[in-house]
Structure 1
Amino acid sequence: MRLAILMTNTDASTFAQHHPDDGQKFSSLVHRVRPDWEIEVYPVKDGIFPSTLEFDGLLITGSPASVHDGSPWISTLEELVRTAIDKKIPMFGACFGHQVIARALGAKVGYNPDGWVLGRIETTFEDSGLTVPLYAAHKEQVLSLPKGAKIVARTPGCEIAGFAINDHVLTTQYHPEMTNSFVKALLNAFADDIGKETTDEAAQTLIKDTDLDALAEWIALFFEQADT
């Protein structure tokens, strides 16, 4: 299996420089359960895109950028999303990735009326009814479904916490790649920007970590089943 990770995280802060980037985070996550998969990382936020879409799958990461920023790289990424859809290339999107796929396909993305969503969030998956914890760090979310999509996950305050299109697109508003220690460090680093009360409330949810192996298996199975 050969995957392309399209890295969209624009954070160039000192905090970000002291932690693995999102390409490394997602590569490490997938390699927990599929160590032999070939993964190539493209920092599309710097305008660096793959020259071909001859991959078994694409994975679009999260970002502090907004899909409404108007940056040229976002428009290019949206066009890539539409091309991938036309070619039925399996595509997974997380947070910003979830939002940019939705917007590229004509859906609405906007602010969560309750503001920032941070910390460990219980996510209910539609097909199984299972509730799975995932980490959140967003203030925008998908407000309407793209044509042909179905909701696959919901959380309190976020009706479209994940969606799928046939067996070739799967998204989540959340961050399967983040660890408990990283989220704690993130909240501490950005408490002044986000607000201490909000980050303190989020920190109280971090009693336990997420199940990284289970989340990695979820992503890997999506690509394997879509590729069959």
Structure 2
Amino acid sequence: MHLAILVTNTDLSDFAHRHPFDAEKFETMVHSVRPDWTCTAFRVHLDEFPPSLAPFDGIIITGSPASVHDTDPWVGRLLEVIRNTTLPLFGACYGHQAIALALGGTVGDNPHGWSLGLKRSDVVDPQPWMAGLGGSYRQFAAHKEQVTALPDGAQTITSADGVPCAGFVMGRRVYTTQNHPEISPAFFEALLAEFGPSFGADVAAAAKASMTGQDDNLAYAESIAAFFEQAVKGERYTR
């Protein structure tokens, strides 16, 4: 399996340079469950797009502090890629929102403000590739926008406190999460230490208090791999 990772994270701060960039985070996530798969990353936020999608079996779209409503040219180009591709798509956070917006849904402000911390998502419509997740799972969240209406043909599969659509599917070809399956506890702790004040004292304190127990990143990574396997096995794609 060869996946294209479309990196949308616009953070190029000193903090970002002290930690693995998203391309490495997502590749590590994939290799935690499928070490023989190949991942090729493209920094689409710097207008580095794949010259062709022909070599790839699927696409991962990462998270970002950017908004899907931004007018930067790369955002519009990414939405066009989403609309035009026939490859299976997985999106996390920004990727989740971008897929929804590109395919006819809407994205708006979270009325509760920032969702930040180790958050539980409840599985409301389990898909076959999600068998290992059980009825709920925990991932790190860091967002203040969310999907407010789904595209035609999409269905919500997970919900969270204050986030009615924490993930959706479109048939067997689209799978998303509003959260961050690639973020480790160590990275999130560093993120809070660096940027906590910018979220607000109460939000940062609640996020820090949420970091008890275990995330379900490994089980969720397995669900992503199983999603791509069933999509590629079950469909023929025109490239």
When the two structures are superposed, what TM-score results if normalisation uses the length of structure 1?
A: 0.96
Deviations 1:129-184 (A, max 9, x none): 61101110000000000111011110111111101001000010000000111111
Q: Where does residue 113 of structure 1 map in the other structure?
A: 111
Confirm or deny: 8 A CA contact 1:179 1:209 kept in the other structure.
Answer: no
1:159 aligns to 2:189 (yes or no): no
Q: Which runs of 4+ in 1 moved over 2 A?
A: none
1:36-74: per-residue Cα shift (whole Å, max 9, x none)? Answer: 101100000000000111210000000000011111000
In structure 1, what is the equivalent of residue 130 of structure 2? none
Report the Cα offset of residue 14 of structure 1.
Answer: 1.3
Task: State the secondary structure of the residue aligned to 1:119.
Answer: strand
Residues 1:5 and 2:1 are matched in the alignment: no
- Write the distance in 2 (CA, Å) between the matches of 1:106 and 1:159: 18
SS of corresponding position for 1:190: helix
1:64 aligns with 2:65: yes
Out of 119, 126, 150, the residue aligned to residue 145 of structure 1 is 150
CA distance in 2, matches of 1:209, 1:130: 16
Return the offset for 1:209.
3.2
2:99 equivalent in structure 1 = 101
Aligned-pair RMSD on alpha carbons? 1.0
Identity percentage of aligned residues = 48
Residue 192 of structure 1: how far off its partner (Å): 2.1
Aligned pairs for 1:64-213 (under 5 A) are 64-84=65-85, 87=86, 89-128=87-126, 130-213=135-218
Q: Distance in 1 between matches of 2:228 and 2:96?
A: 16
Shift of 1:207: 1.1
For structure 2, which runs of at least 5 residues remain unmatched after alignment?
A: 127-133, 234-239
Match of 1:222 in 2: 227
Return the letter of the residue paired with 2:20: P
- Is 2:83–2:102's contact at 8 Å kept on the other side of the alignment? yes
8 Å contact from structure 1 (residues 188, 199) kept in 2: no
**Residue type matched to 2:223 in 1?**
W
In 2, are the aligned partners of 1:180 and 1:208 still within 8 Å (CA)?
no
**What is the TM-score of this pair, normalised by structure 2?**
0.92
Q: Deviations over 1:96-146 (max 9, x none)?
A: 000011111121101101100000111011234611011100000000001
Conserved 8 A contact 2:139-2:217:
no
Distance 1:106 1:151 in 2: 15
| Partner SS state of residue 191, structure 1 | helix
Contact 2:125 2:156 in 1 (8 A): no
In 2, Cα distance between the equivalents of 1:191 and 1:118?
A: 10
User: Aligned with 1:115: secondary structure?
Assistant: coil
Number of equivalenced pairs = 225
